[in-house]
């Protein structure tokens, strides 16, 4: 699906079409733009009364048309003492495309987050806005072995854990 105009409207249209949220419950919590890519963290209440959280990506094409580049949707849930994520996911990274990884952190009062891939020697950083981090990057970043640190305003680690939970 390609959409002309405002990418916020495109995200809203995708969520309404695919998830049928309760009327007026849809909210864009955070958005991030890098080059021709845009990523949106969204939340809404579904028809069964569950709070849903997800991230959707769009890429602008010739003529200004926006097309979906990826996304995930999950349910808000309680976190444990060792969790770093409440809802998380990601996509992309192949053939020089921008990859996205992020979601709602387990400690929404954290000020920033740092993801470290020790195997590649690469660090990604982002601010936590409304409980959400969005890492947008190109190149290699091994999620399976990476760790996420949630930091306070002084840079102290509040919690650390695997970037990618293992099943």
On whether residue 97 sits in a domain, the answer given is yes
Task: Please state, in angstroms and rounded to a whole number, the distance separating the CA atoms of residues 20 and 51.
Answer: 13
Q: What is the DSSP string of 88-116?
A: EEEE--GGGPPEEEEEEES-TT--EEEEE
How many CB atoms sit inside 10 A of residue 131's CB?
20
Q: Is residue 167 part of a domain?
A: no
Supply 126's token pair: 């982002």
pLDDT at 42 over 90: yes
Average pLDDT value for residue range 6-28:
90
- The CATH number of the domain holding residue 38 is 3.10.450.630
Give the residue numbers spanning the domain of 91. 2-162
pLDDT at 81: 87
Residue 61 domain-assigned?
Answer: yes
What's the predicted TM-score (pTM) here?
A: 0.90
Is 99 inside any structural domain? yes
> How buried is residue 143: exposed, middle or buried, by Cβ count under 10 Å (0-12/13-18/19+)?
middle
How much is the average pLDDT of 30-37?
A: 93
State the pLDDT confidence band at 167, using cuts at 50, 70 and 90.
very low
Give the whole-number percent of the chain exceeding pLDDT 90. 61
**pLDDT score of 124 more than 50:** yes
pLDDT tens-digit readout, 134-157:
999 998 888 888 999 999 999 999
Work out how many domains the chain is built from and give that number: 1
Does some domain include residue 122? Answer: yes
Within 8 A by CB and 6+ apart from 53, the residues are 41, 42, 43, 73, 74, 75, 76, 86, 87, 103, 104
Burial 8-26 (b: 16+ CB within 10 A, else e): eebbbebbeeeeebeeeeb
Residue 116 belongs to a domain? yes
From the list 130, 141, 136, 123, the residue with the least C-alpha distance to 105 is 130
Environment class of 126 (CB within 10 Å of its CB; exposed 0-12, middle 13-18, buried 19+): middle
Domain annotation covers residue 149: yes
State both tokens at 136.
């947008």
Report whether 27 contacts 45 (CB < 8 A): no
């Amino acid at each position: 699906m390609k959409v002309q105009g405002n990418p916020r409207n495109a995200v809203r249209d995708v969520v309404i079409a695919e998830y049928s949220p309760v009327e007026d419950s849809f909210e864009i919590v955070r958005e991030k733009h890098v080059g021709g890519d845009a990523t949106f963290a969204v939340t809404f209440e579904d028809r069964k009364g569950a709070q849903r959280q997800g991230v959707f990506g769009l890429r602008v094409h010739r003529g200004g048309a926006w097309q979906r580049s990826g996304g995930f949707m999950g349910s808000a849930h309680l976190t444990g003492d060792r969790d770093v994520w409440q809802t998380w996911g990601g996509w992309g990274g192949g053939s020089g495309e921008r990859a996205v990884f992020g979601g709602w952190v387990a400690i929404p009062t954290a000020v920033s987050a740092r993801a470290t891939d020790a195997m590649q020697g690469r660090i990604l950083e982002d601010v936590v806005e409304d409980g959400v981090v969005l890492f947008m990057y190109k190149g290699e970043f091994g999620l399976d072995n990476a760790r996420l640190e949630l930091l306070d305003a002084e840079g102290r680690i509040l919690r650390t854990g695997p970037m990618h939970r293992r099943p």
